[in-house]
Every structure is written in structure tokens, then in C-alpha cells.
Amino acid sequence: MESIQFRKPETVDEAVKLLQGADGDARILAGGTDLLVQLRAHMIDPGVIVDIKSIAETRELTKNDDGSYTIGAAVAGAEAHERDDITADWPGVIEAWDLIGSTQIQGRASLGGNLCNASPAGDSVPAMVAAGMTANIAGPDGRRTLPVEKITAGPGKTNLKKGEFIVSFNLPAKPSNGGDAYLRLIPRTEMDIAVVGCGAALTLDESGTVTSAKISLGAVAATVLVVEDAAKAIIGTKLEPEAMSALDAACQAACNPIDDKRGTVEYRTKVAGVLGRRVVSIAANRAGKN
Ligand SMILES: Cc1cc2nc3c(=O)[nH]c(=O)nc-3n(C[C@H](O)[C@H](O)[C@H](O)COP(=O)(O)OP(=O)(O)OC[C@H]3O[C@@H](n4cnc5c(N)ncnc54)[C@H](O)[C@@H]3O)c2cc1C
């Protein structure tokens, strides 16, 4: 391994210049819980590592006047979990983030890192997508915003251009009568990679009819999936058995998983339907309690 330059800029512009000017691979360091493992395993060989944790914007979690949240890309899961406001408004996002690793990992693991590591099984990603989160990206051409589901391009790959990084995320204001949830299946009780992960966010009217829904699956394709047919299956219903069967079928139909030691194609596909049902039930229950 050649020597690696380590930089710790204090502004977004400085970080962009470092990323843009780097010869070869340049990597952002947030919590380092993926990056350092990959470095030690010689899976990556960056020329420059840019630690973004001294940039204030990446470290702030703010509830805005309109009820939305701005979440710095390097905020750690443990910090978010301690906040009563976001935990009450978006329990699905927080429970997905909180599933990442152990207590030690939680003290470091960021949403930016979980997303940009681009594992198809990243736990926070389906929950972020279901909640309608967007990423605020800084780069040589200025700032741009992309829906979270547009960030990953495949395992280990993102759609970020040279010099770009995610500064923060927008999480919309919680809709009235809205609820969200995330569930994953792992072969062990904790500290494992999802066989399937599923996030859902929905709203109900006063009669309990679903008025809007977004359902997302992880670990069943190269990138996170938005399952529009699953949302269509339940919008306008009170989650009667037929609607739940149609939702289950839509989740299964969307899957294009791999076979590996954690699960076969058939198993992952079946589990996607089961998790879809369960996660929607939890989200609806939460929405009904608003
Ligand atoms: C013991 C252990 C258990 C784990 N368990 C889980 C688990 O249960 N579920 C799960 O999903 N993951 C798990 N992980 C993986 C890891 O902890 C998460 O993916 C975590 O969220 C990564 O965040 P980080 O801040 O540490 O990222 P880093 O390691 O700092 O970065 C990860 C990658 O993203 C890039 N990156 C980081 N931030 C940005 C940004 N703002 N803009 C652009 N690129 C960026 C980095 O360059 C790097 O390539 C586990 C890891 C360990 C070591």
C-alpha cells in the first residue's frame, strides 16, 4: 500500500477541492466502520482520505420550522437515537439506523456511510427511501439534491461524480396520520447482514383508509427497490386480507436477489412478501395512533 494522505477540512468547499484534486481514489471518512475495515483488508487503496467530521454541516441534526429534519451525513446513529423528536416522528428511520452494528458501531455509523458504502443490504437505506429522504450533495459544480434511491448504482458503487460528497439529508415533516417502520430478517439475533430488509411509510385518513404509501426493499436486488405496485395494492384500502395478499405478491414480484449462504433466491423472495405485510401493519398501527 502506498502512503495515504489524511485530510480533515473544516469547510465543504475545502473538502470538495481535496476530493476533486486527488490523484486516483479519494475517500470520504465519516464513522469509518466500513472504510477502515476495507482498508485493513486491502480491499481499497485510496490516495487521500477526507475526514468530514470537522465540517459543522455534516454533524448537525436539526428540526426545521416546517417540521422537517436536516440530518448531517456524518451524524452517528447513537446521537439520533437520543433525540426524542425524530424518534417520535420517524420511528422507522431510527429503528433501521439503530440496527446497524453494536453499541460501539452505533457511536460512529452514519447515514452517509451506510448509503455510500452501497451494500445492497445497508439497513438504513430502505427506511430512508420509504420516508422520502433526499441527499444534499456538494461538488465542483455546486450543490444538488437527489432522492436517496438515486444514489446507489450497484454493489459498492454510487452515482456521485468525482469531487462530490453528501453533506446532509432532508427528512420531510411527518405527515399527520403518518407512520413508518423498518424490519429486516437476519440469520442470527443481531450483528448480521440482512437477508431482506423492508421499509414502509404510509398515511391514513380518519376512517383508517390508506391514502399514500411508499414501500422499499433492500438485499433483494443490486440496489434498493421502490416497490410501486406494493403501494398501489394498499392505497385506498383498509389493509383487508386481499390488499395484503396483493402487497405480498407485489413485493415478491419485484425481487431479483442472489443466492448466497444467507438465503436462496426462493427464500429471499418469500421473505420479502412476509416482511412487506408485517412492516405495513406496523406502520399503519403507528399512523393510527397519531
Ligand atoms: C461490526 C460491524 C457491524 C455492522 N453491522 C451493520 C448492520 O447491521 N447493518 C448495516 O447496514 N451495516 C452494518 N455495518 C456496516 C457499517 O457500520 C455501516 O454501513 C455504517 O453505517 C457506515 O457508516 P460510517 O459512517 O462508518 O461510514 P464510513 O466507513 O466512514 O464510510 C463508508 C463508505 O461510504 C463513503 N462515505 C461515507 N460518508 C460519505 C458521504 N457523506 N458522502 C460520500 N461518501 C461517503 C466512504 O468513503 C466509504 O466508502 C457493520 C459494520 C461493522 C464493522
Ligand 1 centre from 2 Cα, in Å?
Answer: 23
Residue closest via CA to ligand 1's atom 28 equals: 32
| Domains and their CATH numbers in the chain | 1-51 (3.30.43.10), 178-288 (3.30.390.50)
Q: In whole angstroms, what is the distance from residue 285 CA to residue 290 CA?
A: 9
Ligand 1 proximity of 19 Cβ (cutoff 6 Å): no
Ligand 1 proximity of 184 Cβ (cutoff 6 Å): no
Best mutation site among 75, 100, 129, 157 for ligand 1 pocket (most ligand atoms within 8 Å of CB): 100
Residue closest via CA to ligand 1's atom 8 equals: 100
The kind and range of the H/E element at 249 are helix 241-254
Best mutation site among 99, 105, 182 for ligand 1 pocket (most ligand atoms within 8 Å of CB): 105
Mean pLDDT, contiguous 10-residue spans, the chain (290 residues)? 87 97 92 96 94 98 98 98 97 96 95 97 97 98 98 97 97 97 88 91 97 98 98 98 98 94 92 98 90
- Region of 43 (left: φ > 0; alpha: ψ -120 to 50; beta: rest) is alpha
Ligand 1 centre from 113 Cα, in Å?
Answer: 4
Task: Summarize pLDDT for 227-236 with one digit per residue, the tens.
Answer: 999 999 999 9
Q: In whole angstroms, what is the distance from residue 15 CA to residue 60 CA?
A: 17
Of 61, 56, 59, which is closest to residue 81 (Cα–Cα)? 61
Q: In whole angstroms, what is the distance from residue 29 CA to residue 110 CA?
A: 10
Task: Summarize pLDDT for 71-93 with one digit per residue, the tens.
Answer: 999 999 999 999 999 999 999 99
Residue 290 pLDDT: 62
Of 70, 63, 290, which is closest to residue 179 (Cα–Cα)? 290
Q: Are strands 196-204 and 26-29 parallel, antiparallel or unpaired?
A: unpaired
Residue closest via CA to ligand 1's atom 4 equals: 101
DSSP state of 257: P
Residue indicated by cell numbers 452514519: 110
Phi and psi for 269 in degrees, rounded to 5?
A: -65, -45
- For residues 229-248, one letter each, b for 16 or more C-beta atoms within 10 angstroms of the residue's C-beta and e for the rest, the string is ebbebbeebebeeebbebbb
Residue closest via CA to ligand 1's atom 15 equals: 34
Ligand 1 proximity of 164 Cβ (cutoff 6 Å): no
Ligand 1 proximity of 34 Cβ (cutoff 6 Å): yes
Ligand 1 centre from 35 Cα, in Å?
Answer: 7
Ligand 1 proximity of 55 Cβ (cutoff 6 Å): no
